[in-house]
Amino acid sequence: MHVVRELQQQMLDRNRRDSLQLLRIQNNLNALGLAMRDLLDQTEPYPLTAWSPQFDRIRRDLDDAMKQEAQLSLGRNREQAEYLSNSIAQFWSAVDRIFQEAQAGREAEARSAVRDSLQSRQAALTTSVARLMVQNNENDQQAAAQIAGIYSRVERDAYIFLFVTVCTVVFTSLVLIGSNRSLFRRLADLSAQRSDLAQRLISTQEETLRHISRELHDEFGQILTAIGAMLRRAEGKAGGDPLVAELKEAKQVTQETLEKVRSLSQALQPVILQEEGLLAAIEWYLPLVERQAGLAIRYEKPPGDLTIESKNAIHMFRVLQEALNNVVRHSGAGEAIVRLQESASSVVLEVEDRGRGLERANGKRGIGLVAMRERAILMHGSLDLERGAAGGTLVRLTVPRTRERDL
């Protein structure tokens, strides 16, 4: 549109300047007509040659106007330009002959030529220039009409382009919205499937641990108890001192193995968690970790009793186990802090160490962290891993007390 506007302005300016030059030519022709009228006036006491300087001045101005008009003319055919140029040249040739006759003393013949020939030529030139001015005005109107048509087409094309663009954007948006909705539905389905799978895996894990714990406690515990009893009877029947010493050593090893099997059974599925609750299970488990891993644990618990749904309690206990295992395996710290806090809306379990934090091999997320997050989701809670106040890692599990979900 800017280019079209500049083109229109250039055409209008050129037509105006051309019209001004045509008007200048017409004024010169009118001046010639007045000069010839004065020249033929018999009341003037001057000879005909006295008008020669006036004709020369008009001629110079007329020639200059013709040159400029020829450069500015638009839409004029070659025949029109040649006709005007030849007519003016013939007019000035006739003027030169008239003044030559006047200088030769034949003023009467010269005046007669002015009256018979020169005035008619001037009138014809004036008519031709007037036609050119009319044609120039018509060219202005045609150019304006063409520009208006161009504006109309450009405006129409712009509206069409805008309409097509809007339709394309709307269509693309609808396609994207439909695609996004389909993708979101698939993601929601996958999330539901993942949550259901995690729930089943964790349920299977708990059942497996419960089974293994029962087998260790019942089967292996009974076997080790029977072996201990047999060793005691053999020790009573043995007569030699060396054999008694070996039987005592075997009995001690058997007793230690029995205790380890029972501790492992309790760690896999603590009976105390089901019978006495989460607080009692944590108080039993923390000293066990201190003895087995050599880790000093500072325990901060809420005052009074803590009531929490049993199936949420097992998830919180597993998160505590995994967090302390990470401290032992990855942090390099010799001390850990376990905090259990409660409010009217939530229960918060925190495990903090002052070591180097959790490390991930090759940037991969550990399966233990994934399991902890899944357990938090099953409880409608959240699991956050932060940098501790004194360095290390802070694991925070927040479980709402208003919503509970069965495993």
Ordered domains of the chain (ranges, CATH): 2-162 (1.20.120.1730), 270-400 (3.30.565.10)
pLDDT at residue number 216:
58
**pLDDT-derived band at 361, boundaries 50, 70, 90:** very low
Evaluate if residue 51 carries a pLDDT over 90: no
Residue type, 376: A
Contact 295, 287 (CB under 8 A): no
- On the CB side of 363, how many CA atoms lie within 13 Å of its CA? 0
The pLDDT tens digits of the residues spanning 363-372 come to 445 677 888 8
Provide, for the chain, the percentages of residues in helix, strand and coil under a 3-state DSSP scheme, each rounded to the nearest 5: 75, 10, 15
The pLDDT tens digits of the residues spanning 273-289 come to 777 888 888 888 899 88
Contact 109, 101 (CB under 8 A): yes
Q: Of the spans 38-52, 299-313, 322-336, which averages the highest pLDDT?
A: 322-336
Evaluate if residue 346 carries a pLDDT over 70: yes
Averaged pLDDT of the chain? 79
Evaluate if residue 141 carries a pLDDT over 60: yes
The answer to which of 3-7, 40-44, 155-159, 162-166 has the lowest mean pLDDT is 3-7
pTM: 0.47
pLDDT at residue number 169:
92
Mean pLDDT over 52-56 rounds to 89
Contact 313, 277 (CB under 8 A): yes
The pLDDT tens digits of the residues spanning 87-117 come to 888 889 988 888 888 888 888 888 888 888 8
Contact 99, 114 (CB under 8 A): no
pLDDT at residue number 183:
87
Evaluate if residue 362 carries a pLDDT over 70: no
Looking at the chain, the whole-number percentage of residues with pLDDT higher than 90 is 9
pLDDT at residue number 406:
39
pLDDT at residue number 383:
92
Instruction: Count other Cβ atoms within 10 Å, centred on residue 110.
Output: 23
Evaluate if residue 167 carries a pLDDT over 70: yes
The pLDDT tens digits of the residues spanning 77-93 come to 678 778 888 888 888 99
Q: State which H helix or E strand residue 161 sits in.
A: helix 119-215
User: Could you tell me the sign of the dihedral formed by the alpha carbons of 74, 78, 82, 83, in that order?
Assistant: negative
β-pairing verdict for 346-353 and 382-387: unpaired
With b for 16 or more beta-carbon neighbours within 10 A and e for fewer, the 11-35 pattern comes to: beeebeebbebbebbbebbebbbeb
pLDDT at residue number 237:
64
Strand order across the beta sheet in which 393-400 lies: 296-300, 335-342, 346-353, 393-400, 382-387
